[in-house]
Amino acid sequence: MSAVMITRKVRKWEKLPGKNTFCCDGRVMMARQKGVFYLTMFLIIGTCSLFFAFECPYLAVHLSPAIPVFAALLFLFVMAMLLRTSFSDPGVLPRALPEEASFIEMEIEAANVNVPAGQRPPPRIRNVQINNQIVKLKYCYTCKIFRPPRASHCSICDNCVDRFDHHCPWVGNCVGKRNYRYFYLFTMSLSLLTIYIFTFDIVHVLLVCFFTLWSVVGLTGFHTYLISLNQTTNEDIKGSWSGKNRVQNPYSHKNIIKNCCEVLCGPTYPSVLDRRGLMLEDISPSVTPAAPSSSNPTPQTTKTTAPLIPNEHTPDDTHKSIAASAEESPSPREERSPVSKVPPLASPETDAETSLAKDKAH
């Protein structure tokens, strides 16, 4: 029996922890709960389909053909921003490797040596200074890392997200550092599309547009307020930079235009997950049976082992060799059985007969 270890190359997204789902060989990343996302697409596509089917022909003939063209362009922009927000990496932070996690644990234990026995150890935090303001970095017990500033752990996706804003079920993904601007552009363009359809279509989709108008426009106004302060939804809910704590927002430039430019026009940050990178995976070893020595297997009653010293035989091998030699060596009877070609010894009678025969020949 021999064990064969097999390794194969896999994409890193196949082994990433968390509760995200991946499609298209890791290019598409979403949360597992996608039911509300499908409802969002149904509402947008359904409302616009009714508008294009019943109202646009009349508006194109009696008012202007530019009305349905502008509505189509706005609809395509809304769908592009929705898919960009839903299918992109929001800024998930990779978890610590086992070696890194053990090193961090050693550092924390070394810092808590002076804590008396029975007393609760202090919280695992680190302090950093940002714009002359002390910011605490909290330790994530799931990802085994100290989270960067403004990062938080999403309980739905089970991952730490950089500059975490919130988890939006309507887009089926977290909203964070890498897709917040697309989320805001989606809500703003959807508000414009809703107002546009509501203006020209008051009869057929009045009820849908009424509820959508208040919810989407209100959400857009709320995020516009957050962007002007350079603040996230998570920080606003927790009151991280509220006046009651007497802590100022260290990320705000104290200027609405600068804050909006940083959030909406800043650089696009690359993903740190390397989802489509390759890694080696060890497959469980497969045991291959040894080939039988003879066609007629014999029952194994004793277990023999190979000799440790070369040219040395085990007791079983000596018995087998003795038996084999005994089978190969012929018996004494078999040695005498072949007829000898040597003529028999001559007797007096035969000598006389041979001499007479020679005289006659002469």
Cα 204 to the center of its chain, rounded Å: 46
In angstroms, the CA 135 to CA 250 distance is: 9
Cα 265 to the center of its chain, rounded Å: 31
In angstroms, the CA 31 to CA 248 distance is: 33
Identify the three-state secondary structure at position 354: helix
Identify the three-state secondary structure at position 103: helix
> From the candidates 56, 154, 168, 209, which is the catalytic residue?
168
Which amino acid is it at 18?
G
φ, ψ for residue 20 (rounded to 5)?
-90, 155
Which amino acid is it at 275?
R
Identify the three-state secondary structure at position 45: helix
Clarify whether 157 is annotated catalytic: no
In angstroms, the CA 159 to CA 18 distance is: 6
Q: Among 209, 224, 216, which residue's Cα sits nearest to residue 189?
A: 216
Work out the angle between the directed axes of helices 66-87 and 180-200 (0-180°, nearest 10): 150
Catalytic residues: 168
